[in-house]
């Protein structure tokens, strides 16, 4: 019989809580990854995964949680906390080299406190693919950096986010969600659009609103990348938050 996972998702004040019930093995881990990826796409401030009712049939299957944490680190920058009161499951997670860096609590109350303490700070903005979108994106960065006392990063971050937005305006042509996230030591900039087509780099001689597209992003950001997000994609970049 195929393993089946049942999930319950609750959005709380500072995090999303996912309770998994069933048996985790090398087959059902794909379902677990898909379930948690769907939760990540909603960009919660933190994600708590309750494993109280989850039986682990195959030891290697616990690596799915490390894979989810890696997915969340670049985008959408969501801290992941696990709750597993059963000592056998806790031992399996502790014995997995991939999972040792994940916070694992044996009490859901304590896991909630850790998740709330780890929750990231975000500012979000919905934009249409119009000429003023780049300017509004720069204003969002200026507001975020003023609130979070990051004057040195405001200039380069404004340029990077403007380029990400300009790329959507020129090539994707869909409404977008723009997010600025602080998770020290990084400032994360993300634009989610409605097109699944790969982000286009642009040309060095291009000088319309938004500049040179992803060429400048590569020059100014420490890291950048792209990931599927629903029916579209997320393009993100990180800069030091000194």
Which region among 52-66, 89-103, 132-146 has the lowest average model confidence (pLDDT)?
89-103
Nearest 5°: the CA angle 209, 214, 216 is 75
Residue 202's pLDDT band (cuts 50, 70, 90): low
- Per-residue model confidence (pLDDT) at position 201: 58
Collapsed DSSP state (helix, strand, coil) of residue 180: strand
Whether the predicted pLDDT of 211 surpasses 70: no
Residue 20's pLDDT band (cuts 50, 70, 90): very high
- Per-residue model confidence (pLDDT) at position 13: 78
Of the chain, the percentage scoring pLDDT greater than 70 comes to: 93
- Per-residue model confidence (pLDDT) at position 209: 45
The model's pLDDT over 224-234, given as tens digits with 9 standing for 90+, comes to 999 888 889 99
Whether the predicted pLDDT of 117 surpasses 60: yes
- Per-residue model confidence (pLDDT) at position 222: 94
- Mean pLDDT (the chain) is 90
Cα(9)–Cα(5) distance, rounded to whole angstroms? 13
- Per-residue model confidence (pLDDT) at position 189: 97
Mean pLDDT on 142-169: 96
Domains (ranges, CATH) in the chain? 5-118 (3.30.750.24), 121-240 (3.30.565.10)
Residue 205's pLDDT band (cuts 50, 70, 90): very low
Mean pLDDT on 140-146: 98
Alpha helix segments (H runs only) across the chain: 28-40, 63-74, 87-95, 108-118, 133-147, 151-167, 214-220
Closest CA to 221 of 147, 178, 159, 169: 159
145-149, 198-202, 220-224, 227-231: which is most confident: 145-149
Mean pLDDT on 150-170: 95
The model's pLDDT over 62-104, given as tens digits with 9 standing for 90+, comes to 999 999 999 998 889 999 999 998 888 889 998 888 888 899 9
Closest CA to 226 of 183, 172, 152: 172
- Per-residue model confidence (pLDDT) at position 206: 44
């Amino acid at each position: 019989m195929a393993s089946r996972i049942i999930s319950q998702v609750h959005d709380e004040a500072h995090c999303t809580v996912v309770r998994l019930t069933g048996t985790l093995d090398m087959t059902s881990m794909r379902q677990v990854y898909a379930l948690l990826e769907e939760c990540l796409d909603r960009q919660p401030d933190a994600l708590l995964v309750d494993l109280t009712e989850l039986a682990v049939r195959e030891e290697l299957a616990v690596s799915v949680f490390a894979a989810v944490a890696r997915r969340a680190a670049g985008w959408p920058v969501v801290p992941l906390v696990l709750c597993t009161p059963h000592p056998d499951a806790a031992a399996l997670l502790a014995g997995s080299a991939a999972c040792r860096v994940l916070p694992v609590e044996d009490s859901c109350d304590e896991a909630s406190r850790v998740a709330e303490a780890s929750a990231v700070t975000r500012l979000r903005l919905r934009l249409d693919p119009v000429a003023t979108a780049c300017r509004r994106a720069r204003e969002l960065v200026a507001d975020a950096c003023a609130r979070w006392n990051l004057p040195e990063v405001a200039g380069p971050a404004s340029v990077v986010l403007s380029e990400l937005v300009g790329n959507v305006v020129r090539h994707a042509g869909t409404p977008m969600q723009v997010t600025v996230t602080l998770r020290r030591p990084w400032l994360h900039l993300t634009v989610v659009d409605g097109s699944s087509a790969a982000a286009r780099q642009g040309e060095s001689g291009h000088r319309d609103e938004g500049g040179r597209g992803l060429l400048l992003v590569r020059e100014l950001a420490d890291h950048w990348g792209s990931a599927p997000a629903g029916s579209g994609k997320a393009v993100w970049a990180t800069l030091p938050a000194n």
